[in-house]
Chains A and B, each alone.
Chain A
Amino acid sequence: MTMDRRQFLKGMLAGGAVAATAASAPAEARGNLTMPPKAMGLLYDSTLCIGCKACVSACKESNHLPPEYSTEDQLWDTPLDLSGKTKNVIKMYKSGTGDHKDQEEDGYAFMKHSCLHCVDPSCVSACPVSAMRKDPVTGVVTYDPGDCIGCRYCVLACPFDVPRFQYDKAFPKIVKCELCNHLASETNDTRFQYSACAQVCPTGATLYGPTDELMVEAKRRLALKPGTDHTVPRGRIDGKDSQMAKAATYVPQVYGEKELGGTQVLKLAAVPFDKLGFRDLPERSFASVSETMQHSMYGYLITPALVLGGLVVAAKRSLRDDEDNQE
């Protein structure tokens, strides 16, 4: 391959343009989205949970979802994971003999798996239409089947593996927790008034309320000396119902405070979160990273221009080579 001076200078110019774009990219980076003004969410405290699955059963009732069988006798609703039929599931961590609750070794613990309603949700970012939306006021991440094209990008994008697709339906939808926002409508025909999982929870392990208030409550519990008697609200944080509890030896972390820019559903536990299916995640949201990359690439159509320009150069060069060969 030969290259004349003119070609070399052209190449330098193009390279410089790319370098300039790359250098200017961080300045245009989109940061994490911020918490909506009246963000609503849940606080799930694994140490209060007795694994009764009242929340699983109430979720099905509230959302009119069918039972899901995983045993041969098909007697009980026994979902093993979130699915097209299940928006909320209580999972169990067990190690060794599994004798002691909330203990990492030879113990067991429960964990609720449902949508965390991220402050900066990947599913909303990935959705090519506007089927996945985040409410600008309450921050609830909702799904509109009318807009959905069935691409399942949200299923792949979610870092918590939450949205599920109804693979067994002729006209499938995405199934994910929407914080029972349908109960607010006047056509509510159920016995629930707010998030069913929180409303039925007998111990207050799942608590409904504004995320900022839930965060204060979570921090209060973390600050308690283990073994202290205290009162925890039940149902909704601004309700009247409460129960007595003993402070557990918590992992000093509110899961959802910082993970991927924060979530509106917060979690407390006495067993490390990575053992309960919630891995360590960076503070910067995946949505902000991917959107920054995409928007930089397509800013001023620089990438398409470069790629097309490169193709033109390559084509022209090979043409010249052909001419050279024919000579």
Chain B
Amino acid sequence: MSKIDIISMENLPGVAALEKRLGVSRRDFLKLCSGIAATLGLPSTAAAEIAQAVASPAKRPSVIWLHFQECTGCSESLLRAEHPTLDRLILDVISLDYHETLFAAAGHQAEAARKAAMEANKGKYLLVVEGAIPTKDGGIYCKIGGQTAIEMVKECAAGAAAVVAIGSCASWGGMPSTGPNPTGSSSVGEVLGKPVVTIPGCPPNPYNFLATVVNYLTFGKLPAVDQLGRPLFAYSRLVHENCERRAHFDAGRFALEFGDAGHRQGWCLYKLGCKGPETYANCPVIGFNDVGEVSWPVGCGHPCIGCTEKGIGFAKPIHALAELKSVQPPLGYPKVDEPRGVGATIASAAAVAALAGAATAATYNLTKNLGKNIAVEGDKPESKERAES
């Protein structure tokens, strides 16, 4: 959205139409927008953007965001996104019609807003689910507005254009599904019985989610995903493959315990239980919070716990060793039967044979000459005896 001076907006047709739509004067509307922007601590340009966003006749895609068995860490992670920031996202890019943490409404009003948004955008809205869904005992362990999580997710998914599971809990069960799993926590995909786009992580990197949403908005479809529904742009490579400490792994330099010399020097954390070699995520590539390399677990010295990976995160002990998934031995390893040069070739054998033959012939000639010399110089019977022997 281009930056527009809020005063000049007064004559825009959209803003003029608002007088009729909302029953407020143009001047008052723009004043309100400036006030909202100031209250939210947003820059002055935001006022114009809010005004334009509200006045814009082009509908922003509706997003319904459900929360079940979760800690709101995924939403918290999203709040810390910088490009775009959450306010830009919900004001410019999408229309966030239902989000337990962020909406202003409460109680029946909130549920009514959800139902209205679903009705108005049937078949077009994006459903985002945060948190696992309890399935045991009819799903009574998580209810919102008297409705179980199972009912709610099924109701919302029915009219959704696409379903995105954000966080490990929604993607594959996450922490709530860890044994003994008393509430029968399950993933969105399992409850709906169909594959959904998953953005696992605890919390997931906000940009993996934002990029997925923006991809949907820009191209009208979700990005390419793997067999677990994870977008390939973010989850196609192991943490180990792009890790900033990988060179230490390759050089055989491992931190042996927390705080030892190797640990202080930033050596590989494999021995301390790093799950990088069996976890697919792009953490080492984009980091968290846009503050550089240290802003992810391995960067600040703690082994990766494999939070994005089912069966690893919250399942395997944090300091248990990872199973190396990608490491087929490279060619650099010496082989058990390392070839050292070649054996005798026909040419080399022939050369040796020729040399040996020449030497034999020379020796024979030498011996013959020696005998002749003796025969000439010595007396007769002695030479005869030699010849006989």
| Given A52-B249, A55-B252, A91-B338: A202 touches B270 (CB 8 Å cut-off) | yes
B-contacting residues, A96-115, CB 8 Å? 98-99, 108, 110-111
**Is the contact region of chain A dominated by helix, strand, or loop, or is it mixed?**
mixed
Give every chain A residue within 8 A of B271 (Cβ-Cβ). Answer: 202
Tally B residues with Cβ within 8 Å of A. Answer: 26
Pairwise interchain contact B252-A56, C-beta atoms closer than 8 A: yes
B-contacting residues, A38-93, CB 8 Å? 50-58, 70-71, 76, 78-81, 89-93
Q: Which of B38-46, B70-78, B221-229, B325-333 contacts A (4 or more CB under 8 A)?
A: B325-333
Give every chain A residue within 8 A of B324 (Cβ-Cβ). Answer: 50
State whether the Cβ of B32 lies closer than 8 Å to any Cβ in chain A: no
Across chains A and B, which 10 residue pairs bring their CB atoms closest together, nearest first?
A202-B271, A57-B252, A92-B333, A54-B252, A80-B334, A53-B252, A277-B336, A91-B336, A92-B329, A93-B336
Pairwise interchain contact A78-B252, C-beta atoms closer than 8 A: no
| Given A79-B334, A89-B334: A244 touches B320 (CB 8 Å cut-off) | yes
- The distance in angstroms between the C-alpha atoms of A51 and B333, with both chains bound, is 9
Pairwise interchain contact B334-A98, C-beta atoms closer than 8 A: no
A-contacting residues, B48-71, CB 8 Å? none
Of A52, A99, A110, the residue contacting B270 (CB under 8 A) is: A52
Q: Could you list 20 examples of A-B contacts with CB < 8 Å? A: A51-B329, A52-B249, A56-B252, A57-B252, A58-B252, A79-B334, A89-B334, A90-B334, A91-B333, A91-B335, A91-B338, A93-B335, A108-B328, A110-B329, A200-B252, A244-B320, A275-B336, A276-B336, A277-B336, A277-B337
Pairwise interchain contact B251-A191, C-beta atoms closer than 8 A: no
**How many whole Å from B267's CB to the nearest CB in chain A?**
10
B280-293 interface mask toward A, CB cutoff 8 Å, 1 = contact, 0 = none?
A: 00000000000000
State whether the Cβ of A264 lies closer than 8 Å to any Cβ in chain B: no
Pairwise interchain contact B336-A80, C-beta atoms closer than 8 A: no
State whether the Cβ of B253 lies closer than 8 Å to any Cβ in chain A: yes
State whether the Cβ of A134 lies closer than 8 Å to any Cβ in chain B: no
- The distance in angstroms between the C-alpha atoms of A171 and B217, with both chains bound, is 74
Pairwise interchain contact B333-A90, C-beta atoms closer than 8 A: yes
**How many whole Å from B87's CB to the nearest CB in chain A?**
46
Q: Which of B260, B324, B334, B337 is packed against the most chain A CB atoms within 10 Å? A: B334
**How many whole Å from B305's CB to the nearest CB in chain A?**
16
Pairwise interchain contact B254-A243, C-beta atoms closer than 8 A: no
State whether the Cβ of B321 lies closer than 8 Å to any Cβ in chain A: yes
A-contacting residues, B250-284, CB 8 Å? 250-254, 256, 260-261, 270-271
- The distance in angstroms between the C-alpha atoms of A47 and B189, with both chains bound, is 37
Give every chain A residue within 8 A of B261 (Cβ-Cβ). Answer: 191
Give every chain B residue within 8 A of A79 (Cβ-Cβ). Answer: 334
Give every chain A residue within 8 A of B249 (Cβ-Cβ). Answer: 52
Give every chain B residue within 8 A of A91 (Cβ-Cβ). Answer: 333-336, 338
Pairwise interchain contact A202-B321, C-beta atoms closer than 8 A: yes
- The distance in angstroms between the C-alpha atoms of A203 and B338, with both chains bound, is 26
For the complex with contacts A51-B327, A199-B256, A244-B317, 7 further pairs of A-B residues with Cβ separation under 8 Å are A80-B338, A94-B335, A108-B329, A202-B271, A243-B321, A275-B336, A276-B336
Give every chain A residue within 8 A of B332 (Cβ-Cβ). Answer: 71, 76, 78
- The distance in angstroms between the C-alpha atoms of A76 and B249, with both chains bound, is 13
**How many whole Å from A58's CB to the nearest CB in chain B?**
7
Pairwise interchain contact B336-A111, C-beta atoms closer than 8 A: yes
- The distance in angstroms between the C-alpha atoms of A200 and B248, with both chains bound, is 13
Give every chain A residue within 8 A of B320 (Cβ-Cβ). Answer: 243-244
Of A54, A80, A90, A111, the residue contacting B254 (CB under 8 A) is: A54
**How many whole Å from B209's CB to the nearest CB in chain A?**
34
Pairwise interchain contact B338-A57, C-beta atoms closer than 8 A: no
- The distance in angstroms between the C-alpha atoms of A113 and B329, with both chains bound, is 17
Pairwise interchain contact A244-B321, C-beta atoms closer than 8 A: yes
Give every chain A residue within 8 A of B270 (Cβ-Cβ). Answer: 52, 202
Chain B residue nearest to A100 (CB atoms) is B328
- The distance in angstroms between the C-alpha atoms of A71 and B332, with both chains bound, is 9
- The distance in angstroms between the C-alpha atoms of A70 and B338, with both chains bound, is 12
Pairwise interchain contact B328-A98, C-beta atoms closer than 8 A: yes
B125-142 interface mask toward A, CB cutoff 8 Å, 1 = contact, 0 = none?
A: 000000000000000000
**How many whole Å from A164's CB to the nearest CB in chain B?**
13
Give every chain A residue within 8 A of B338 (Cβ-Cβ). Answer: 80-81, 91
**How many whole Å from B80's CB to the nearest CB in chain A?**
34
Pairwise interchain contact B321-A94, C-beta atoms closer than 8 A: no
- The distance in angstroms between the C-alpha atoms of A93 and B324, with both chains bound, is 17
**How many whole Å from A116's CB to the nearest CB in chain B?**
16
